[in-house]
Amino acid sequence: MMSAPFYDVNLSYEDNYERGPFGDFAHIDAHSEEQAEGSEIHPTFNFFGYALNSPFGIPAGPLLNEHFTTAALRSGFDIATYKTVRSRAWGCNPFPNVLSVHPTTVDGTLTPDSPQTQEGLLADTDFGVPGKISISNSFGVPSQDPDVWQPDMKKAIERARERRGQFLLASFQGSRTSDMSEEQYIADHVTTARLAVETGAKVLEMNTSCPNEGKGRLLCHNPELVGRITEAVKNEIGDIPLIIKLAFMHDDDAVRIMMENTVLHQTVQGFSTINTISSKLVDAHGNQALPGVGRETSGVCGAAIKPAGLEMVERVIRVQHRLGINDSRFGVIGVGGVTSVTDYKQYRALGAIAVMSATSAMWNAGLGTQVRAAEHDMMLEHIS
Ligand SMILES: Cc1cc2nc3c(=O)[nH]c(=O)nc-3n(C[C@H](O)[C@H](O)[C@H](O)COP(=O)(O)O)c2cc1C
């Protein structure tokens, strides 16, 4: 089932926040939900101690508030991630925030090493066929003030809790301003985590991988600092599992160092990977595609980045096993280019404990029920 996206790319972030969700998410009420379920509900999958109908959902990003998260759960996505929040109100980059991108590699994929990421990738408004869509998203991780997002996140969690086998994951990140010391930056993460826990969040995801904050300035490229931040955050949140969201990493060593600074200290229980791949974007004339200073490059996601996502998940699990980290202490969530049940199964076959889809899910509200039905069929095959 393909339809208009639940996040309307022709509208501003603010309009989406106020008026969304759109497409099939706009009409999902109790009656259509019953039809959408498509299969019986069996909460048998363990997600950091919580039982899910399927280990599949929507990652941090397109679910802007409770209206979006509840619609996602009703549509059959069993994990709904509330878009990354901050300790303070933070403005969104100017419109447009989403463009379609067109990698020219033979198979249409894009890795961080693809020459096009440096030379320029065509970006326009020709979104083409749902299921094959790759986009660039350039939001700058906007956030409402905690006075707004805290009651809304609380409501989102309560709605999720009323439902069997479904879960609301809370995403947050620190905010760095030019006048901030490193200690203040660490403290900002702790404050934001505490604000999220106050809403009732039971698992937290900390974003360390946003490419829109300046090229080469991803927090996850500084594992020592991530280690200090996660230690401080864990001291604040206690037993609540902490996941960190990571960008693609080129070699096993980088992943090993990150694990040594986090998982081995028992401050982090999961990695969610990958975030978008940073690329230079150009229009049909070769000019900068997104208006404004600092927007020469932007993060690419969707179908094109699946090979990079799979590679990273494989790498994380290889390093996990090499370091002797037990599956009960750590899990990886596979993200990147998931457009179908087949893609979902590929990530699961590598050992991902859960899988998420952002771009493709935006255009395909039925993806959650498709995955759930596939898991149900596999369970029946297993029994017979
Ligand atoms: C519209 C949109 C907004 C996003 N915003 C965030 C965000 O706020 N925080 C975050 O950690 N990732 C964000 N992401 C990245 C996704 O969580 C995901 O890592 C990435 O899109 C790759 O998955 P995909 O190929 O299924 O889109 C966003 C993605 C999209 C499409």
Nearest atom, ligand 1, residue 7 CA? 1
> CB–CB of 86/172 below 8 Å?
yes
> CB–CB of 123/77 below 8 Å?
no
Q: Is the CB of 218 under 6 A from ligand 1?
A: no
Amino acid 211: pLDDT: 55
Q: Kindly report the protein residue whose alpha carbon is nearest to atom 6 of ligand 1.
A: 61
Amino acid 106: pLDDT: 85
Amino acid 145: pLDDT: 98
Amino acid 133: pLDDT: 95
Question: Ligand 1, residues 273, 275, 347, 362: which to mutate, most atoms within 8 A of Cβ?
Answer: 275
Question: Which residue carries 């790498």 as its tokens?
Answer: 315
What does the H/E/C string look like for 306-362?
Answer: HHHHHHHHHHHHHHHHHCCCCCCCCEEEEECCCCCHHHHHHHHHHCCCEEECCHHHH
Question: Ligand 1, residues 8, 244, 359: which to mutate, most atoms within 8 A of Cβ?
Answer: 359
The listed CATH number (3.40.50.1000, 3.20.20.70, 3.40.630.30, 3.10.20.30) that belongs to domain 13-383? 3.20.20.70
pLDDT digit of tens for each residue in the chain (384 aa)? 456 999 999 999 999 999 999 999 998 876 677 666 555 677 899 999 999 999 999 999 999 999 999 999 999 999 999 999 999 999 999 999 999 999 998 899 999 999 999 999 999 999 988 889 999 999 999 999 999 999 999 999 999 999 999 999 999 999 998 899 999 999 999 999 999 999 999 999 999 997 545 555 799 999 999 999 999 999 999 999 999 999 999 999 999 999 999 999 999 999 999 999 999 999 999 999 999 998 999 999 999 999 999 999 999 999 999 999 999 999 999 999 999 999 999 999 999 999 999 999 999 999 999 999 999 888 888 787
Nearest atom, ligand 1, residue 274 CA? 19
**Which runs of consecutive H residues, i.e. helices, occur in 213-300?**
223-237, 252-261
Q: Is the CB of 357 under 6 A from ligand 1?
A: yes
CA 300 to centroid of ligand 1, rounded, Å: 9
Nearest atom, ligand 1, residue 276 CA? 20
CB atoms within 10 A of CB 353: 18
Give the residue among 263, 9, 292 at the shortest CA–CA distance from 124.
9
Written as one letter, the residue type at 71 is A
Amino acid 22: pLDDT: 97
Q: Kindly report the protein residue whose alpha carbon is nearest to atom 13 of ligand 1.
A: 61
CA 35 to centroid of ligand 1, rounded, Å: 28
Torsion of CA 233, 275, 163, 161, to 10 degrees: 10
Q: Is the CB of 137 under 6 A from ligand 1?
A: yes
CA 358 to centroid of ligand 1, rounded, Å: 6
> What's the CA gap between 298 and 334, in Å, rounded?
21
> What's the CA gap between 324 and 333, in Å, rounded?
19
> What's the CA gap between 74 and 29, in Å, rounded?
8
Amino acid 111: pLDDT: 95
- Quote the tokens at residue 161: 């809790």
Q: Indicate the pairing of strand 121-124 with strand 98-101.
A: antiparallel
Question: Ligand 1, residues 137, 272, 357: which to mutate, most atoms within 8 A of Cβ?
Answer: 137
Q: Is the CB of 302 under 6 A from ligand 1?
A: yes
For residue 230, give the 3-state DSSP assignment: helix
Question: Which residue carries 């990958």 as its tokens?
Answer: 274
CA 380 to centroid of ligand 1, rounded, Å: 33
For residue 375, give the 3-state DSSP assignment: helix
Amino acid 1: pLDDT: 46
Q: Kindly report the protein residue whose alpha carbon is nearest to atom 28 of ligand 1.
A: 61
Amino acid 45: pLDDT: 96
DSSP state of 123: E
CB atoms within 10 A of CB 322: 12
Nearest atom, ligand 1, residue 205 CA? 11
Q: Indicate the pairing of strand 50-52 with strand 45-47.
A: antiparallel
Question: Ligand 1, residues 69, 143, 245, 301: which to mutate, most atoms within 8 A of Cβ?
Answer: 301
Q: Is the CB of 59 under 6 A from ligand 1?
A: yes
> CB–CB of 61/209 below 8 Å?
no
> What's the CA gap between 233 and 366, in Å, rounded?
36
- Quote the tokens at residue 218: 């991803």
